[in-house]
């Protein structure tokens, strides 16, 4: 219970940033599997994207979806998907086929009417051309590109360039992972899938911005004074302080989505729900994972490439080892680890003993000075 309380208050000290290479390797393996599935297996596109015909009829009593699908195939066409929609007395069969001519569509309707013992007028037919589906796909990709561009500009202006790069990389990771899972399972890609993708992008961005805001707060003024943490440690603290918020948001969001996926589509068999539910379920999990385990570590890697933060990391680690080093210059954006001629850094408080047991120092002009009674600082010369 004490652990839950500390987690809720943000008092935990879990090292999320230190083992970040493990998260990178795990994500890389998942991405390879997903890209391989998309490349070799591809997607099952709905008629809204690939074009085709859709036949909808009220479910007759004592019939099954398999009987309706078999009746349509008896007319000489191939049924690409067959699913149910609605519930109770309003439950319907929805059959989707390739693009058919008018005569072929009428033949399918007659076959369904005879096999299911329903009037021909109760079987409705709608057709979508493949060219319309291509236009929808093209406009969807353009909208996605514009969305990512605007998001990158917003984060760049509000936070900084490196955070924008990490946030966009996390969004692409979530897209590829969700699309790959869709390809592996073989669910049909419909307009509901696109809506779900846009929804999870917004959720992933929200979670990432929350963490980044805390990172920015913790690292503000980090280079001034005598810092006790480097950038990675301050970022890790930010993740610990916001992890409970991310967990709460994800759990609350997943509960209704899980109801749609496992109860609506799984138990009740409402097939039209699974297209939206699966993309939301996978995307919400991927968004939370990428915000904590990828986006923030990527920011740390990018920031520690800067000389000033690399010097800060060296300073903090050296101080913890018991040796003091010069302060980091926040104004020039670099650490004065050596003189202008590239000389080795000097340790603050170091002394040099002369051959006669006298300790000497150098002032800013480089001239030797000796204290009274043969003393420099606290070191005495023997008499």
- Residue 96 sits in the same domain as residue 185: no
- Residue 74 sits in the same domain as residue 188: no
The reply to whether 354 falls in a domain is no
Residue 56 · residue 122 · CB < 8 Å: no
Across 334-358, average pLDDT:
37
Position 343 scores a pLDDT of: 39
Position 315 scores a pLDDT of: 83
Least confident piece of the model among 56-70, 138-152, 288-302, 364-378: 364-378
Q: How far apart are the first and last CA of the chain?
A: 68
What percent of the chain is modeled with pLDDT above 70?
75
Q: Identify the CATH number of the domain in which residue 192 sits.
A: 1.20.1640.10
Confidence band of 267 (pLDDT split at 50, 70, 90): low
Helices in 186-292 by DSSP H: which ranges? 191-219, 231-258, 271-290
Q: Which helix (H) or strand (E) holds 170?
A: helix 161-185
Q: Is the pLDDT of residue 31 over 70?
A: yes
More confident residue, 129 or 237: 237
pLDDT in tens, 47-91: 777 778 888 888 887 788 888 888 888 888 888 888 777 666 667
Least confident piece of the model among 174-178, 193-197, 301-305, 350-354: 350-354
Q: Is the pLDDT of residue 291 over 50?
A: yes
- Residue 190 sits in the same domain as residue 106: no
Q: Is the pLDDT of residue 231 over 80?
A: yes
Position 276 scores a pLDDT of: 77
Helix, strand, coil shares of the chain, percent, nearest 5, are 60, 10, 30
Q: Is the pLDDT of residue 25 over 60?
A: yes
More confident residue, 325 or 24: 24
The reply to whether 347 falls in a domain is no
Confidence band of 162 (pLDDT split at 50, 70, 90): very high
pLDDT in tens, 98-118: 888 888 888 888 888 888 888
In 3D, which of 216, 247, 219 has the Cα closest to residue 7?
Answer: 247
Residue 280 · residue 257 · CB < 8 Å: yes
Q: Is the pLDDT of residue 94 over 80?
A: yes
- Residue 143 sits in the same domain as residue 201: yes
Report the alpha-carbon distance of residue 254 to residue 286 in Å, rounded: 12
- Residue 139 sits in the same domain as residue 75: no
Q: Strand, helix or coil at 287?
A: helix
Q: Is the pLDDT of residue 298 over 90?
A: yes
What percent of the chain is modeled with pLDDT above 90?
14
Across 260-288, average pLDDT:
74
Across 331-360, average pLDDT:
38
- Residue 35 sits in the same domain as residue 91: no
Q: DSSP code of 373?
A: G
The reply to whether 5 falls in a domain is no
The highest-confidence range among 141-150, 167-176, 247-256, 326-335, by mean pLDDT, is 167-176
**Which of 83, 102, 128 finishes a domain?**
128
The reply to whether 375 falls in a domain is no
- Residue 109 sits in the same domain as residue 210: no
Residue 52 · residue 127 · CB < 8 Å: yes
The reply to whether 117 falls in a domain is yes
Report the alpha-carbon distance of residue 175 to residue 146 in Å, rounded: 15
> Which residues are bridge partners to 96 per DSSP?
54, 81
Report the alpha-carbon distance of residue 114 to residue 67 in Å, rounded: 11
List the domain range (segments joined by +) for residue 61: 52-128
Q: Is the pLDDT of residue 36 over 90?
A: yes
Least confident piece of the model among 204-208, 234-238, 260-264, 296-300: 260-264
Total domains present in the chain: 2
Q: b/e per residue, 12-37, with b = 16+ CB within 10 A? A: beeebbeebeebeeebeebeeebeeb
Across 13-27, average pLDDT:
91
Q: Identify the CATH number of the domain in which residue 57 sits.
A: 3.30.70.260
Q: Strand, helix or coil at 154?
A: helix
Position 364 scores a pLDDT of: 38
**Which of 65, 98, 128 finishes a domain?**
128
- Residue 33 sits in the same domain as residue 138: yes
pLDDT in tens, 190-199: 777 887 888 8
**Which of 98, 128, 158 finishes a domain?**
128
- Residue 118 sits in the same domain as residue 159: no
| DSSP letter string, 24-90 | HHHHHHHHHHHHHHHHHT--EE-HHHH-EEEEEEE--TT--HHHHHHHHHHTT--EEEEEEES-GGG
Residues written for the chain? 383
Report the alpha-carbon distance of residue 317 to residue 320 in Å, rounded: 5
Mean pLDDT of the chain: 76
- Residue 258 sits in the same domain as residue 145: yes
Least confident piece of the model among 32-46, 113-127, 318-332: 318-332
For tokens 């996605």, what's the residue?
144
- Residue 221 sits in the same domain as residue 280: yes
């Amino acid at each position: 219970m004490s652990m839950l309380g500390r987690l809720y208050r943000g008092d935990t000290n879990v090292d999320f940033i230190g083992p970040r290479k493990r998260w990178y390797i795990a994500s890389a393996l998942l991405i390879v599997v997903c890209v391989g599935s998309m490349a070799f297996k591809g997607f099952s596109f709905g008629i809204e994207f690939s074009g085709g015909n859709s036949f909808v009829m009220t479910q007759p009593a004592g019939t099954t979806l398999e009987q309706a699908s078999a009746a349509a195939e008896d007319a000489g066409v191939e049924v690409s998907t067959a699913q149910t929609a609605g519930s109770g007395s309003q439950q319907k069969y929805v059959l989707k086929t390739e693009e058919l001519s008018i005569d072929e569509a009428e033949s399918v309707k007659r076959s369904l009417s005879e096999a299911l013992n329903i009037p021909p007028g109760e079987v409705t037919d709608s057709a979508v051309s493949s060219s319309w589906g291509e236009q929808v796909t093209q406009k969807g990709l353009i909208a996605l590109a514009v969305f990512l561009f605007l998001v990158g500009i917003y984060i760049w202006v509000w936070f900084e360039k490196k955070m924008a790069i990490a946030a966009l990389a996390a969004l692409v990771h979530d897209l590829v992972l969700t699309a790959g899972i869709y390809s592996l399972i073989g669910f049909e890609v419909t307009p509901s899938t696109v809506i779900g993708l846009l929804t999870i992008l917004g959720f992933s961005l929200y979670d990432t911005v929350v963490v980044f805001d805390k990172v920015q707060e913790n690292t503000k003024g980090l280079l001034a004074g005598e810092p006790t943490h480097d950038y990675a440690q301050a970022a890790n603290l930010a993740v610990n302080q916001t992890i409970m918020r991310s967990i709460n948001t994800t759990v609350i969001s997943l509960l209704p989505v899980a109801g749609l996926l496992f109860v609506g589509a799984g138990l009740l068999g409402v097939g039209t729900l699974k297209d939206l539910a699966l993309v939301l379920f996978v995307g919400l999990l991927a968004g939370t994972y990428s915000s904590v385990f990828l986006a923030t570590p990527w920011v740390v890697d990018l920031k520690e490439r800067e000389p000033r933060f690399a010097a800060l990391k060296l300073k903090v680690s050296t101080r913890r080892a018991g040796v003091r080093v010069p302060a980091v210059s926040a104004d020039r954006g670099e650490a004065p680890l050596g003189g202008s001629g590239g000389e080795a850094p000097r340790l603050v408080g170091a002394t040099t003993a002369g051959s006669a047991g006298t300790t000497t120092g150098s002032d800013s002009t480089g001239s030797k000075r000796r204290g009274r009674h043969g003393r420099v600082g606290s070191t005495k010369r023997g008499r």
